[in-house]
Amino acid sequence: MVHGVAPVITVDGPGGSGKGTITQMLARKLGWHLLDSGALYRLTALAAGRQGVSLADEEGLVKVAAGLDVAFEPTPEGEPVKVILAGRDVTAEIRTESAGDNASKVAVMQSVRDALLQRQRDFRQAPGLVADGRDMGTVVFPDAPVKIFLTASAEERAQRRYGQLKDAGVNVSIDALLEEIRVRDERDMNRSAAPLKPADDAQVIDSTGLSIEEVLGRCMAAAGQA
Ligand code: DC
């Protein structure tokens, strides 16, 4: 651990690996702050749409990213953190498949990533931070004392997403979800700017076939808190 700097646990991995849930559970259990870095990419794409900035306009997107007026508000246990963009609750809006897809498109741009870098590092405050994303352990917090890379098979991730959407009353085909997951993985892993990959010193945890409690137990053990 770097002396005098708040500790960080990074949780990276592909979408649907359970990262978001695990990060929230870890942060709650430890009483630490939470960073949902994916939300920042989702918000950048959403705010761009609102401001009439095209997702192909890199310069415009950098300005949008740098000027994001966002607040994350804590919620009772079991509920997702509330995300407020320019005074409006966009918690549900940024979670749609298209918001995720748009986020993945703006996230390929190095200049957009640079514009969001310091904002992410500012979340590192005492007593500690649990950071969820794709490049938390490789780029944003390379000195984090604990790095977890959470993964699961594409089929299992599609199945989980299908369950979530069904519960929310959204009708989708599992094959379409699987295809979207594959396309997004491909884009996230093969981009030149901060591609999705485990840090050299990350502990890889495969959550395929495990319950969320089992995954949490493994993550706590990885964090030395079991
Ligand atoms: O974790 P998520 O599904 O909310 O992320 C949405 C997109 O944002 C994802 O496809 C890739 C991108 N992203 C990223 O490039 N770097 C991060 N640290 C987090 C997300």
Share of the chain above pLDDT 90, in %: 72
**In CATH, what is the architecture of 8-222?**
3-Layer(aba) Sandwich (3.40)
Give strand ranges (E) for 68-224: 70-73, 82-85, 88-89, 129-133, 146-151, 203-206
Per residue in 68-85, pLDDT tens? 999 998 888 777 789 999
Q: What is the pLDDT of residues 128-179, one digit of tens each?
A: 999 999 999 999 999 999 999 999 999 999 998 898 888 888 888 999 999 9
Q: How far is the CA of 102 from the centre of ligand 1 (A)?
A: 10
> Closest residue (by CA) to atom 11 of ligand 1?
104
Taking the complete model, does pTM exceed 0.85, yes or no? yes
Angstrom distance (rounded) from CA 176 to CA 165: 13
- Closest to 148 (Cα-Cα) out of 215, 203, 220: 203
Testing ligand 1's pocket by substitution, the residue of 21, 37, 44, 105 carrying the most ligand atoms inside 8 A of its CB is: 37
Residues with CB under 6 A from ligand 1: 15, 37-38, 41-42, 100, 103-104, 107, 133-135, 184, 188
pLDDT, tens digit (0-9, with 9 covering 90-100), for 87-130: 999 999 998 889 998 999 999 999 999 999 999 999 999 999 99
Asked if the model's pLDDT at residue 226 lies above 70, the reply is no
Structural domain boundaries of the chain? Answer: 8-222
CB neighbour list of residue 170: distance below 8 Å, 6 or more residues apart = none
Determine which residue's CA is closest to atom 9 belonging to ligand 1: 104
Angle (CA) 125-30-161 rounded to 5° is 100
